[in-house]
Amino acid sequence: MSDQTKRTIVIVGGVAGGASAATRARRLNENARIIMLEKDQYVSFANCGLPYYIGGEIAEREKLLVAKPELFEKRFNIEVRIGHEALAIDRARRVIRVQDRGAKREYEQAYDRLILAPGASPIVPPLAGIDAGNVFSLRNVEDTDRVKKFIDEQKPKRAVVVGAGFIGLEMVEQLARLGMQTALVELADQVLPLLDPEMAAILEEELKQRGVELYVGDGLAGFEVDESKLARAVKLNSGKTVGAQMFVLGIGVRPNTGLAEQAKLELGPTRGIKVNAHQQTSDPFIYAAGDAVEYVYGPTGSSLRVPLAGPANRAGRLAGEHAATDGGAEMGEVWGTSIVRVFGKTAGMTGLTMKLAAKLGKQARSVIIQANHHAGYYPGAQAMVLKLVYEEGSGKVLGAQAVGGEEGVDKRLDVLATALHFGATVRDLTELDLAYAPPFGSAKDAVHMAGFAACNEMDGHVRVIPPDQALAGMQVVDLRTAKEVATAPLLGVEGATVRHVPVDELRARLAELDPRQPTVTVCASGLRSYIGARILKAHGFTDVRNLTGGASMRRIALSQTRGPCGGGQGR
C-alpha cells in the first residue's frame, strides 16, 4: 500500500461524479493527496434542484450548494481549486495543464491517478437570435442566477420553453407557478419523447388543462430579435411564431469530452468516454465518471450515455475507490430509471419502452393496468396507469412506465427497477411480498396486477391487444354500464359491430352475440373486460381478445397520431 498512500489523485470536475469520487477516495486512503479542479465557482451543487429554486419551491439559494470548498478541505482534507480549468493532459508525463482563471495564469499539475468528471453542456444550436439576452439555458448555478435575476427584474408575463424532456417540463411547471403564461415547444411528436406515446399523452392532457400551449412535432428555427437585442418570439420550423418575454432552452445536453479527446482517450459508440467496470478509461491511470461517460445499458448490454445523477454518483464513488486503492466493486448496469413531476401528475420509466424495444428489434409484449396508489376505500386514493414491458416467451421484465398523481409512482418504479436489476420475470412480480396497509398500498399492488396481467397472457388465459388497435371487422362487446357508454362513447369503432352488454348481464345475454366472429371485450380500464373475455371463452367463443387499458386509454391513444402503442393486457 506504500505507493497508494503517497499517490496524488487529481479530479477534474465536481458536482455528482467528481465530488463522490473525491470523498470516497479520501475515506479509503487517508494519506493520498487529493486535488479537485472545478472551472466554475461551485464545486458541489444540486443541479436537479435548479428549476425548483427558480420557481420558489426551494426558497433559499444556499440549499442548492450541497458542499462548499470549506467542507471538502476541513472534513476530508481535499484541496479544492475553484476557477481552475483543465486544459490538456500529457499522459506520458502524467501531468495536466491547468488555467487559473482568477490569477490568469497556467500551470502544470502532476498526478498518479486522474479522474475526469467534466459533465455535459446544454445543446445550444447556432440559430439566429439564440444569443439574445432573454434566451437562457439551465445547467449550473450561474445559469440559475441569470434566470432568477431576469425574472425578478423584468417580471415577464409569458415564457416559451423549448424541449419537453425532464428539464423542460420542470421549467414549464415552475414558470407557471410564478404566474407566467407558458408555451412548450418539442421537435418530437410528443412530450417526454422517451415514453411510449399513449403514456406521454396523459401528461399532455395535464399540461393543456393547466393552460400550457403545446407545439409538438415542430422544431426550433430561430428567434425574432428586437432593436434592444432581446428575443420577442420564437420561430418554428412550421413557420409559426410564438411570442414571449423570456425563453428557456431544454433541448438536451452533449458530453464534455474535449479533454478526453485531446488526450486521445477512447470514446464509445454514443460518443461518451469509454470506461471499464472500474471506470478506467483506455489509459488505466485515468478514470471517468458522470454525464460524459458511457455505461452498460441493462436492457441491451451495450454502451450508452445515460446522463442521470444516480449513475454519476455511483460511478464516481467506484472511480474514487479504485483510484485510491487499486481495488473495489464493479459498476453495475444502468437502466435509465427516471421520474418527473408535471403539475398534478408524476411520470417515470425504467428500462425499455415498447417504442425502444421495437427500434432494437426486441420481441417484447406489454400490458397496461390502471390502479389506485393505495386502497381505494381509504381517502385520497390517486389513479395510476402502469405499463409493463416484458420479453415474449421468457416473460423477463424489460421495462416499465407509470403515470399517476403526486404519490405512488416512484414506489412502483423503484420496485420494478429492482426487479430489472435482478433479472426478474413477470411471474416473479406476482410473488413479491410488498408492504401493505390502506394508507400505503393495496393487498394486490399495482406491481402485482401488472404481473398477473402479463402471466394471464403468457398462460393463454386471454389474448390482449393494444389500446390503439384497429377494430374494423371485429365484434366489439362494450361491457360498461349504460351511463359510462353515454358519458364516454368508445372511439375508433368504424367498421366494427358494437354490442353494449354490461358485464353483469353478459351470461344472460350471450344469445345476442355471434361466437363465430373475432371478438374484442372492452371496459373502462381492462378489468371487467378480462372477466368478460373469460366468460365468453368458457361459452365457446374461440377468438376473444381484451383491449388493454380499456376505453379510457383508447381515447388517449387515438387522440394522438403517433404510431402503434404495442402490447396488451389481461388479469
Rounded to whole angstroms, the Cα distance separating 374 from 364 reads: 29
Rounded to whole angstroms, the Cα distance separating 512 from 497 reads: 12
How is residue 402 written as a grid cell?
Answer: 407509470
Which domains occur in the chain, in start order?
Answer: 2-121+254-325 (3.50.50.60), 135-249 (3.50.50.60), 344-458 (3.50.50.60), 463-558 (3.40.250.10)
pLDDT of residue 45: 83
pLDDT of residue 14: 84
Instruction: Provide DSSP, 70-113.
Output: HHHHHHH--EEEETEEEEEEETTTTEEEEEETTTTEEEEEE-SE
What is the amino acid identity at position 553? M
328 within 8 A of 358, measured Cβ to Cβ: no
Rounded to whole angstroms, the Cα distance separating 503 from 508 reads: 10
From first to last of its 571 residues, the chain has per-residue pLDDT tens of 446 668 999 999 988 899 999 999 999 999 999 999 999 888 878 888 999 999 999 999 988 888 888 889 999 999 999 999 999 999 999 999 999 998 999 999 999 999 999 999 999 999 999 999 999 999 889 999 999 999 999 999 999 999 999 999 999 999 999 999 999 999 999 999 999 999 999 999 999 999 999 999 999 999 999 999 999 999 999 999 999 999 999 998 999 999 999 999 999 999 999 999 999 999 999 999 999 999 999 988 999 999 999 999 999 999 999 999 999 999 999 999 999 999 999 999 999 999 999 999 999 999 999 999 999 999 999 999 999 999 999 999 999 999 999 999 999 999 999 999 999 999 999 999 999 999 999 999 999 999 999 999 999 999 999 999 999 999 999 999 999 999 999 999 999 999 999 999 999 999 999 999 999 999 999 999 999 999 999 999 999 999 999 999 999 999 864 433 444 433 3
230 burial level (CB within 10 Å; 0-12, 13-18, 19+) = middle
Region at 394 (left for phi over 0; alpha for psi -120 to 50; beta for the rest): alpha
Model-level pTM? 0.93
The answer to whether 48 is a known catalytic residue is yes
pLDDT of residue 407: 95
Give, in order, the Cα–Cα distances in Å from 19 to each of 120, 287, 306, 314, 485: 16, 14, 19, 11, 57
Rounded to whole angstroms, the Cα distance separating 403 from 153 reads: 37
Rounded to whole angstroms, the Cα distance separating 125 from 119 reads: 19
Cβ-based neighbour number of residue 45 at 10 Å: 24
pLDDT of residue 2: 46
What is the amino acid identity at position 193? P
Cβ-based neighbour number of residue 266 at 10 Å: 12
What is the amino acid identity at position 378? Y
Of 342, 350, 454, whose CA–CA distance to 410 is shortest? 350
29 within 8 A of 326, measured Cβ to Cβ: no
Of 10, 40, 47, whose CA–CA distance to 25 is shortest? 10
* Alpha-helical segments (H) within 12-64: 17-28, 50-54
132 within 8 A of 159, measured Cβ to Cβ: no
Helix, strand, or coil here: 69? helix
* Alpha-helical segments (H) within 309-421: 309-325, 354-360, 409-421
